[in-house]
Amino acid sequence: MALLQISEPGEATAPHQYRLAVGIDLGTTNSLVATVRNGKAETLPDNNGQAILPSVVQYLGDNKLVVGEAAKNAAVDDPYNTIGSVKRLMGRSMADIKKLSGAIKYDFVDTESNVPRIKTRGGAVSAVEVSAAILTQLKRRAEQALGDELSGVVITVPAYFDDAQRQASKDAAKLAGLKVLRLLNEPTAAAVAYGLDNKAEGIHVVYDLGGGTFDISILRLNRGVFEVMATAGNSALGGDDFDQVIAQWIMQQAGIADNSNQSLIRYVSQQACAAKEVLSQSEQVEIVLDGAMGLSWHGVLSRSKLNELLDPLIKKTLIPCRRALRDAEVTQAEIEDVIMVGGSTRMLRVRERVAEFFQCEPLVAIDPDKVVAIGAAVQAHTLVGNKSDDEILLLDVIPLSLGIETMGGLVEKVIYRNTTIPAAKAQDFTTFKDGQTAMSIHVLQGERELVSDNRSLARFELRGIPPMVAGAARIRVTFQVDADGLLSVTAREQTSGVESSVQVKPSYGLEDAEIAQMLTDSLSHAAQDVAARNLCEQKVAAERVVLALQSALKADGDRLLSAAERKNLDAGLRHLQEVAQGNDHAAIKLATERLNESSTEFAARRMNDSIRSAMAGHNVDEFSE
């Protein structure tokens, strides 16, 4: 009698094969799923042989929905129930969404939470739920192709996704019933797909221009290890915006002034997208609006006119490129190669401008739509334990510095921008006042010196600190950023062991324009920030001296000081308090130093008095044994 091979969930049904894992490129415009089979990474097609799944969901009501090409085709006739480009909404508030460029004009409903929900025929849905529907479709496709359940997935996200957007991506995967092995930055995944590990050690650029997001990453390969030296980008710029610029030109040429008809706008946008694709192969294309929705217009769009229309948007992608080079402290001459990723990089004008900027011909050998999913599949293959001969270690970086608020409204950076992740760093802090039993921890993100100029991420409290004199307690604050870029902060009082922590899950994301502005401001206001920090630090130091001296005078001033000495210290105390109210950094520093000098003898007397009290009733031999 033959034996039956019984496989565990997540393992292949055939004996001696690898555990089943896939990589998913959850894109703004299109999504894909890929896996490694027979040592080769490949995308998995649907029953019609199509690997690309449009990231569009149509809600039909009665808990029914359509995902993919059919939904995309329905967008013109049913725009308010058909959701596309939902990736732009991930982890964002309504205030953020209103700032987004493009025609994201769904019917949003008011909710008690900060999570925006879109009104559809099937009920109000969030961006997480729409993304989960897309992931569910990809999961179903993978399990049908591989014949069993999955052990886990690697899902790619734009390098500039912040904590909220990354957490929203993980929530969508959980809702779809997927076990996330890791979130992987899209440019990093592309580097894996291109096998940069097989190249000589050097510096590489990944230029990723997709349907709705743009990312630039500068990577260094050193001894088989990929390190992302710097990243920059714009999560609200992509091929969708290119389509809209072309669509606006078409509408202008056709004399169409109605910008409120969503069905009309989507129809013209589809014509614009088709024209853009044709112009990657031809010098001109004829555009025909043949009676749809009462339209009747014929026109010609040339490649030169297309370049003129799109150059301003392409230029916007080169600004983050320049910033990333500066952050990585490298020049164009040091770049080994530039990898082109994302469907929008098929445009010849994009390739021309990128080649001109980086002074080298970009690599375009792998299908730019599939390269990210393939790289994610390679990483997933490794993470589930399917060891490969060319295993790669990937190191991403933190886009903005992380720190906490200290006295005087200052920011003490704990983990600096462009630090490789995963990362953990601890720093010790102390109490400011005598008998302080609690401490408020304010977690911040940004590059400026003052709290008011940075972004607040979270607040929590550490209670139960043993009462001590100011400065005696040791509070160790630990920042941990995991491989997905998610942050947790823990505060622990070292002597008592009391501890408190928070996992940073902001309710909405940070605009990339704001990130860029924060970086720009940190450079342009550097001298001003240093001066402001110095002033705040001197004021805090002065306040500490004042509080300490006031406490000492109250306890021992009448007993250990003469009337003249007491008068002199009181006068110095009043002078420092007056000067500390102003903004003269040098004057505050001078007054603090003088008061410290004049109180030195008093401090020595107090110390001697304490020693005599401790020694009372004992002899020296007891302490020398």
Residue 25 among the catalytic residues? yes
Q: Are 341 and 364 in contact (CB under 8 A)?
A: no
Q: Residue 417 carries which side chain, given as an amino acid letter?
A: R
Q: Are 310 and 282 in contact (CB under 8 A)?
A: no
**Element spanning 428, H or E:** strand 423-429
In whole angstroms, what is the distance from residue 76 CA to residue 58 CA? 11
Catalytic residue among 25, 447, 449, 493: 25
DSSP code of residue 62: T
Catalytic residue among 72, 78, 87, 243: 87
Residue 98 among the catalytic residues? no
3-state helix, strand, coil in the chain (%, to 5): 40, 25, 30
Q: Are 345 and 364 in contact (CB under 8 A)?
A: yes
In degrees and rounded to multiples of 5, residue 368 shows phi and psi of: -65, -20
In whole angstroms, what is the distance from residue 358 CA to residue 251 CA? 35
3-state DSSP of 197-250: HHCCCEEEEEEEECCCCEEEEEEEEECCEEEEEEEEEECCCCHHHHHHHHHHHH
Q: Are 41 and 21 in contact (CB under 8 A)?
A: no
Contact partners, residue 7, CB within 8 Å, separation at least 6: 13, 148
Separation of CA 515 from chain center: 10
Three-state secondary structure call for residue 260:
coil
Bridging pattern class, strands 455-463 and 438-445 = antiparallel
In whole angstroms, what is the distance from residue 562 CA to residue 211 CA? 79
Q: Are 502 and 494 in contact (CB under 8 A)?
A: no
Catalytic residue among 96, 171, 186, 512: 186
In whole angstroms, what is the distance from residue 425 CA to residue 136 CA? 37
Q: Is the peptide bond before 422 cis (omega within 30 degrees of 0)?
A: yes
Residue 286 among the catalytic residues? no
In whole angstroms, what is the distance from residue 615 CA to residue 271 CA? 92
DSSP code of residue 413: E
Separation of CA 240 from chain center: 22
Catalytic residue among 96, 163, 171, 208: 208
In whole angstroms, what is the distance from residue 286 CA to residue 279 CA? 10
Bridging pattern class, strands 335-341 and 202-209 = parallel
Contact partners, residue 417, CB within 8 Å, separation at least 6: 327, 397, 398, 399, 400, 401, 447
In degrees and rounded to multiples of 5, residue 436 shows phi and psi of: -65, 125
Bridging pattern class, strands 125-126 and 214-222 = unpaired
**Element spanning 47, H or E:** none
Residue 327 among the catalytic residues? no
> Which two structure tokens, joined as six digits, stand for 199?
């190249």
How far is residue 189 from each of residues 194, 339, 498, measured CA to CA in Å?
A: 9, 11, 41
In whole angstroms, what is the distance from residue 496 CA to residue 558 CA? 35
Q: Which residues are catalytic?
A: 25, 87, 186, 208
